[in-house]
Structure 1
């Protein structure tokens, strides 16, 4: 016996449990009853006292029941369409009388002519066609069986319950999986509880439908939806104390699913039968078969006929017979034969050939013989039958799933963007979406190989498990995220976007260090700051503390020009003091406004009351009044103290690479859904690639020219001499480095790399034991990533625009006037005066980051950067939310 009471014979029909939408409430009384239950006007129906015995049409009398008696009152009056019969409650006990009250049927208008599948009804009486007679006979038998079961079951329900109070549920909208593709059409992942693809019935190969009918219900196309033998058997077994029975027609199986009738009981059996009759009155056979095939479980987690055909044979049921790769009758019979019991149980191993080939073949033979008997295959096809080869069962690990793979992290961002496209969670849960992402497989591979410690070629390979990298590649001309590495564990922390597992909330970020200076420069250039402006590196903050300059020897800063260091040199060497004073001059809000325009939306304050990890500030929902308030941001925002989200930073970097034109970073190209009614695919969501200029062309060409020098100084020249721009950055932790960055790119690809601690911050060291800086491991990852992409995609070489110098050197700057040196006299060149071209080839940019004073308590009152001022620490010491004591750096 299977779990639904059917004997395990390959000749038996299956009882398939259903799960679907709950049945709705009663239909309106004005709704015409199905034609199968109609009666002409003027007739009278009466049912006499009933007990076990003979039944006669008209007044039905059955001998007295022992020890009590059950009587059904007369029913008088005209029966009208849609009228509700009123039946009194009955009680049954030994020695007592069980009575059913008089059922009064009010007169009403005659039934409308005709009905589904039958000829018009004569105006003056009943439809006398053979088909109508058969339907009426079926209904009478259903009613008789219902009454019989009621008697035997001691009043489970009232008789008219089965014709009026049992509502017809609407067709179930079957849940499907959502298919996520990369930009080339390869499956990245499948989401959803059900591996199902709904297909329109009219597109399903008929041989499949015939095979299913042969296996489950060979009389499907001739009966009216009810298995009378099954109903009587269920009643008899209940009366005799036997096991409840579950075998049903295809229509009954679908009725059970549609009405969510899960229990195996007499009540369920009768409700199932009535709903099946109503289904047959409202839908034709093809429609019912289509609904059934899209719902039924075919084993191995495959729901619906399309998933079954793809899973067992790698074919589609929508391929017409005779075409290449169309389902054969033999393959269709294999799939259909699984329905009876798709999964092994302790009692029986089921009919999935991958689990129980012997019984699967026996069931297949049964199905093939029925197909022959019903004329659905020819004798020749039957005689040549050979059991087809079935694809082996997949391992438990889904080969198309992204679980526990780096690419799985992308799925969070896909979910977030679906909701942002106003595609509701219920639509996502329903499934059936085909989502093409922006992810290029070659770029994704390059990101993973460059950033993952598991990659033998990565600069991260062999580093401690406490180290983590993130690599993000964006097309700066469209905002498409082409490659995204945010960690190896798809269910772990998203180190690229700090998006939680449901894709609904950003939960963290990292200090960008000197890479934040690109926005400070964008803001300054917009205000007229010149790269030729000079700044004094000896000036202290307004609270009297020194500004750290990456630990550089004050006597060697700017080659001894510390009191009149030009902004271009300071940018290349990543000194902090000009950026502190630029921020002070133009104001914190303008720096944040530039960052926001480029793509940064979320930024964190330092620790403050009520926010032990810092307060997350949404720049899109706040303004200068918040950003300038006490406890939020101080001038150190200009050189990267406050944490940002790497993905948002990557979007900002892409804006700089794209010469000031912003495109929103995104992971989805298109979202399509197939209409199950007509099979047509429609786009319900699409990317927006329109950009908007946020920074001037001239200013951006000026900035790019300086950032090109950083690539040269850091010795990160790209493959084949390709032109690139970059900025390094480091933010310290304790006595070393905690966050290290290298950002920039080429005209066709913006690349952002972060290296830091996994889970918790750690002091980052290079393989040789020295402190890690942005110009170290991160820059090597950056170069490897870009070189791999340009090679794989065979990108043509493109250059950045020619430099246009902008700004007024006299308008901004606080440096002393440099000593005048005769144009022909380079005697001072030995100390870096007079003949310095600004293109310094000294120490590596990142290597200048040392243990300079921290900026944490620079204002002495806790305002601005939120540092904790103990009053007893060394100048600049602060406690930050995720990094402890930190200093600024490159």
Structure 2
């Protein structure tokens, strides 16, 4: 037992969870036993080049003896076990198969011109294996003698193991047949950031960030050496005592443990040597020697620091420094937030046993602060002894307190958080950038997303049933919402709520969990009409065109308007309803006939151009609109004219992209979640960009036509308390698609110049009949519009957005478009002039109409100030200002004029108040 009561030595190595413990013996150090100072780090020469000289070999050996010779190769046999030749330039291979009945001892390769793994005449070169110079005579220096002695001891230890009957290394040759494995390529996590640089998640098998050794603060390296292997900079990778102890303990039946150097610990990791055995210990020693021959001390230390496990799922010194102290080991000493010697000693102390076990709590300071502090004192004392800190620093030492740790590893990432759903779309976009899943799994990427934390919070609080302030809070668990906010000027997805469970169904984009495919969508209902209108405007159809709501489909069926009374549709003008009123009231019939007239393919093209890429047929076939055209869309079993008012399912995220195009004045920016992707070269530390967003927009609709559409959509927002915070202008469109006897999908889409917003409410997993809290059917103008308003108002407040207006309206299109099918309205008869009415204003023949509108038949009292021969339209308070003028009021009774005459045909001049969703959404 060592001074702290743990079963392992203070020089033990990190144990990765699930990995068998190391075979190190407890060890106690006294001050007198410690070396006085460290050696400097320096590279060792290559010991594996073939020289011009002959072969150096382990000579013949018989039972009870072992001899080392030179010149010719010999074979040492003990029964059926043999120690074979060691030759210059031989290739090393791990685990060479031995003949039956033989135990394997690896071959030893001897570098030409030298005796081991250090500089030929280096005074500190100890512990090398091999002997003699090839072709140059024997090196008689003290250093060479020490090297030869170490090599002999190593080989002798192997022979002793064989002689003692261990039977684990016979048959092959001690050095020559043990490969030097390649440097381990450490898997790293991929760091996912929001747009402000805050970590959203670390994705990957291991939470590791590889950092170049050259950038690691030296105090960290010295602390680790002090804790794990204070003679690291002096030895050549092998702890001979540990090897001999392993052999002796095995022979005596004791514990198969022995101290490991830092190089041996890394050798074990690189060669995946996890079993507890003497065979492993010997191979570990061989690989350690070969590592020291190829890499210098700094390189080995760097590889080791990027590999070690330090608890709480943190791999590598950088992840540990960030996790325990919120600092980076690459911050130079003396700068703000640089790791201090005291913090470095805490980190180094964790390596010994990062996780609690059945017999010891480990050295994580957040779990076992008492033993962690003892371990810290041990490390600090060694740092002082080795000259890595001053006496003043040591005397002023104070055990540092780690930062507050999350209650679980899940809380430090997106696990179980709604924003975690974004990671699927990150994976999908990385693939589109050419970054394969293999490259992603390797790790080391830093992905900066477009997610704005303020907008994300607003989306979650508006759409989640778990949010007390959400309109969804009192809805059944079978109801689900999706809320998506996109910057119309860039296409950046700023907020994305697709469900509370990031591992569940993605209700926002229906992206599969691996980010590879679209797996669903929802019927957009009347929100699809924004694309039908874009197509109509492109075909020069005006909002003043009229349409016949009594006309039947070619198959003789009626076009549904959600059960609205034909006598009240369009205020009784169902046979000549203007397109603007039909849009605001969400009647379906004009949109069916638009698709029929201009071609439903034009509607689908407009949706595709805006941003909708996928659409489902009624039988569930997913159609990629970007890879198909009219020849496919008009096939039997694909899409009919009902596409114009939202029958066919689309992914909400793609619909949100299309909405952003309308909000953005007809310029499409590809909706995306990634701003940039960078990778740091682990050798140089240089950061390189491997992927970035494309912000160039593509005008797909005429700006004047979009101003025309936006102005109509403004009227929808101005009713039912949808006005946005601080008087911010907004445009919107509601939508509903039926299910059974009620509503199955409900929507509200639109936005403000700074942010496009799309909201869907439907069934969770399966469709349900949606009801409001009062038991009535839910429509898009109900709960979805409340979520929409709450979302945008919260963003306006959080971002302190200044008021911004949409462009002024430019009325476009032909009011007499040949595509329109509205009937001629009844003609209004003008009373005969008796000849005494001058200019129709004054005179005895001007009639009785200079009053406040007269009585409006069928429409109540028309207080419309009908002047002259004006027939005030009896829809409430109308103002008929001209002969036969339109006094259209702000109510919805059946039309009538002040004199009981037929209704007028001109467009209303005031903003009407409309009941929500008279049509299909």
Structure 2 length as normaliser, TM-score?
A: 0.82
After TM superposition, the structure 1 stretch with the greater mean CA deviation from structure 2, 206-215 or 113-122, is 113-122
Question: Does residue 293 of the first structure (1) align with residue 301 of the second (2)?
Answer: no
Query: Partner of 1:8 in structure 2?
Result: 7
Query: Partner of 1:827 in structure 2?
Result: 871
Map 1:253-332 to 2 at 5 A: 253-332=265-344
Q: Report if aligned partners of 1:80, 1:111 keep a CA contact under 8 Å in 2.
A: no
- CA, structure 1 residues 794+117, in 2 after alignment: closer, same or farther (shift >3 Å)? farther
2:438 pairs, out of 420, 423, 426, with: 426
Task: Report the alpha carbon displacement of residue 284 of structure 1 after superposing the two structures with TM.
Answer: 0.2
Task: Report the alpha carbon displacement of residue 15 of structure 1 after superposing the two structures with TM.
Answer: 6.3
Inter-partner Cα distance in structure 1 for 2:108 and 2:303 = 38
1:669 pairs, out of 646, 670, 675, with: 675
Q: Report if aligned partners of 2:421, 2:503 keep a CA contact under 8 Å in 1.
A: yes
Q: Report if aligned partners of 2:417, 2:500 keep a CA contact under 8 Å in 1.
A: yes
SS at match of 2:676: strand
Inter-partner Cα distance in structure 2 for 1:839 and 1:783 = 27
- CA, structure 1 residues 115+247, in 2 after alignment: closer, same or farther (shift >3 Å)? closer
Q: Report if aligned partners of 1:47, 1:59 keep a CA contact under 8 Å in 2.
A: no
Query: Partner of 2:639 in structure 1?
Result: 633
Task: Report the alpha carbon displacement of residue 301 of structure 1 after superposing the two structures with TM.
Answer: 1.6
- CA, structure 1 residues 370+104, in 2 after alignment: closer, same or farther (shift >3 Å)? closer
Question: Which has the higher relative contact order, 1 or 2, with Cα contacts under 8 A spaced 6 or more apart?
Answer: 1
Q: Report if aligned partners of 1:201, 1:290 keep a CA contact under 8 Å in 2.
A: yes
SS at match of 1:244: coil
- CA, structure 1 residues 128+667, in 2 after alignment: closer, same or farther (shift >3 Å)? farther
CA deviation profile, 1:343-401 (whole Å, cap 9, x unmatched) = 11112222223333333233233222322322223334334433332345431253331
Inter-partner Cα distance in structure 1 for 2:450 and 2:748 = 23
Aligned residues: 818
Query: Partner of 2:658 in structure 1?
Result: 652
Query: Partner of 1:81 in structure 2?
Result: 89
Q: Report if aligned partners of 1:708, 1:724 keep a CA contact under 8 Å in 2.
A: yes
Q: Report if aligned partners of 2:746, 2:762 keep a CA contact under 8 Å in 1.
A: yes
Inter-partner Cα distance in structure 1 for 2:686 and 2:148 = 40
- CA, structure 1 residues 842+56, in 2 after alignment: closer, same or farther (shift >3 Å)? closer
Query: Partner of 2:918 in structure 1?
Result: 848
Q: Report if aligned partners of 1:775, 1:844 keep a CA contact under 8 Å in 2.
A: no
Task: Report the alpha carbon displacement of residue 139 of structure 1 after superposing the two structures with TM.
Answer: 3.3
Inter-partner Cα distance in structure 2 for 1:557 and 1:801 = 31
Question: Does residue 730 of the first structure (1) align with residue 800 of the second (2)?
Answer: no
CA deviation profile, 1:213-238 (whole Å, cap 9, x unmatched) = 11111111111111111111222222
- Please report the RMSD computed on the Cα atoms of aligned residues, expressed in angstroms: 3.5
- CA, structure 1 residues 166+821, in 2 after alignment: closer, same or farther (shift >3 Å)? farther
SS at match of 1:435: strand
- CA, structure 1 residues 838+504, in 2 after alignment: closer, same or farther (shift >3 Å)? farther
Inter-partner Cα distance in structure 2 for 1:639 and 1:630 = 19
1:708 pairs, out of 709, 714, 717, with: 714
Q: Report if aligned partners of 2:54, 2:135 keep a CA contact under 8 Å in 1.
A: no
Inter-partner Cα distance in structure 2 for 1:717 and 1:513 = 23
Q: Report if aligned partners of 2:617, 2:623 keep a CA contact under 8 Å in 1.
A: yes
Inter-partner Cα distance in structure 1 for 2:327 and 2:703 = 54
SS at match of 1:407: helix
Question: Does residue 407 of the first structure (1) align with residue 415 of the second (2)?
Answer: no
Task: Report the alpha carbon displacement of residue 599 of structure 1 after superposing the two structures with TM.
Answer: 0.6
2:481 pairs, out of 469, 485, 500, with: 469
Q: Report if aligned partners of 2:103, 2:172 keep a CA contact under 8 Å in 1.
A: no
Question: Does residue 760 of the first structure (1) align with residue 766 of the second (2)?
Answer: yes
Inter-partner Cα distance in structure 2 for 1:109 and 1:490 = 58
Inter-partner Cα distance in structure 2 for 1:166 and 1:501 = 43
Q: Report if aligned partners of 2:55, 2:134 keep a CA contact under 8 Å in 1.
A: no
Q: Report if aligned partners of 2:91, 2:177 keep a CA contact under 8 Å in 1.
A: no
Task: Report the alpha carbon displacement of residue 73 of structure 1 after superposing the two structures with TM.
Answer: 8.8
SS at match of 1:503: coil
- CA, structure 1 residues 304+520, in 2 after alignment: closer, same or farther (shift >3 Å)? same
- CA, structure 1 residues 161+714, in 2 after alignment: closer, same or farther (shift >3 Å)? farther
Q: Report if aligned partners of 2:748, 2:784 keep a CA contact under 8 Å in 1.
A: yes
Inter-partner Cα distance in structure 2 for 1:407 and 1:167 = 47
Inter-partner Cα distance in structure 2 for 1:330 and 1:553 = 80
SS at match of 2:679: strand
Task: Report the alpha carbon displacement of residue 338 of structure 1 after superposing the two structures with TM.
Answer: 1.6
SS at match of 1:35: coil
Query: Partner of 2:900 in structure 1?
Result: none
Task: Report the alpha carbon displacement of residue 110 of structure 1 after superposing the two structures with TM.
Answer: 6.3
Task: Report the alpha carbon displacement of residue 803 of structure 1 after superposing the two structures with TM.
Answer: 2.2
CA deviation profile, 1:776-819 (whole Å, cap 9, x unmatched) = 12112212222221222222222222222222223221121223
Inter-partner Cα distance in structure 1 for 2:870 and 2:776 = 37
Q: Report if aligned partners of 2:735, 2:917 keep a CA contact under 8 Å in 1.
A: no
Question: Does residue 215 of the first structure (1) align with residue 227 of the second (2)?
Answer: yes
Question: Does residue 567 of the first structure (1) align with residue 579 of the second (2)?
Answer: yes
1:796 pairs, out of 794, 802, 823, with: 802
SS at match of 1:520: helix
Question: Does residue 814 of the first structure (1) align with residue 821 of the second (2)?
Answer: yes
Query: Partner of 1:440 in structure 2?
Result: 452
After TM superposition, the structure 1 stretch with the greater mean CA deviation from structure 2, 126-135 or 253-262, is 126-135
- CA, structure 1 residues 559+154, in 2 after alignment: closer, same or farther (shift >3 Å)? same
SS at match of 1:559: helix
Q: Report if aligned partners of 1:46, 1:73 keep a CA contact under 8 Å in 2.
A: yes
Q: What stretches of structure 1 of length at least 5 have no aligned partner? A: 21-31, 93-97, 608-613, 850-888
Task: Report the alpha carbon displacement of residue 503 of structure 1 after superposing the two structures with TM.
Answer: 1.8
SS at match of 1:175: coil
CA deviation profile, 1:645-672 (whole Å, cap 9, x unmatched) = 1110000000111111111111111111
- CA, structure 1 residues 329+615, in 2 after alignment: closer, same or farther (shift >3 Å)? same
Q: What stretches of structure 2 of length at least 5 have no aligned partner? A: 20-43, 123-132, 831-867, 875-894, 897-902
Map 1:92-131 to 2 at 5 A: 117-118=119-120, 124-125=136-137, 131=143
Question: Does residue 480 of the first structure (1) align with residue 492 of the second (2)?
Answer: yes
Inter-partner Cα distance in structure 2 for 1:109 and 1:391 = 50
- CA, structure 1 residues 160+36, in 2 after alignment: closer, same or farther (shift >3 Å)? farther
Inter-partner Cα distance in structure 1 for 2:477 and 2:119 = 71
Task: Report the alpha carbon displacement of residue 44 of structure 1 after superposing the two structures with TM.
Answer: 5.9
Query: Partner of 1:747 in structure 2?
Result: 753
Task: Report the alpha carbon displacement of residue 829 of structure 1 after superposing the two structures with TM.
Answer: 2.0
- CA, structure 1 residues 127+54, in 2 after alignment: closer, same or farther (shift >3 Å)? closer
After TM superposition, the structure 1 stretch with the greater mean CA deviation from structure 2, 803-812 or 279-288, is 803-812
Inter-partner Cα distance in structure 2 for 1:87 and 1:254 = 22
- CA, structure 1 residues 118+588, in 2 after alignment: closer, same or farther (shift >3 Å)? farther
SS at match of 1:596: helix
Task: Report the alpha carbon displacement of residue 9 of structure 1 after superposing the two structures with TM.
Answer: 4.5
CA deviation profile, 1:457-497 (whole Å, cap 9, x unmatched) = 22222122222211111100100011111112222221111
Inter-partner Cα distance in structure 2 for 1:250 and 1:183 = 40
Query: Partner of 2:361 in structure 1?
Result: 349
Q: Report if aligned partners of 1:569, 1:838 keep a CA contact under 8 Å in 2.
A: no
- CA, structure 1 residues 263+802, in 2 after alignment: closer, same or farther (shift >3 Å)? same
- CA, structure 1 residues 109+448, in 2 after alignment: closer, same or farther (shift >3 Å)? closer
Question: Does residue 237 of the first structure (1) align with residue 249 of the second (2)?
Answer: yes
Inter-partner Cα distance in structure 2 for 1:194 and 1:73 = 41
Task: Report the alpha carbon displacement of residue 639 of structure 1 after superposing the two structures with TM.
Answer: 0.5
- CA, structure 1 residues 544+328, in 2 after alignment: closer, same or farther (shift >3 Å)? same
Q: Report if aligned partners of 2:46, 2:111 keep a CA contact under 8 Å in 1.
A: no
Inter-partner Cα distance in structure 2 for 1:396 and 1:74 = 54
Inter-partner Cα distance in structure 2 for 1:762 and 1:826 = 52
- CA, structure 1 residues 42+753, in 2 after alignment: closer, same or farther (shift >3 Å)? closer
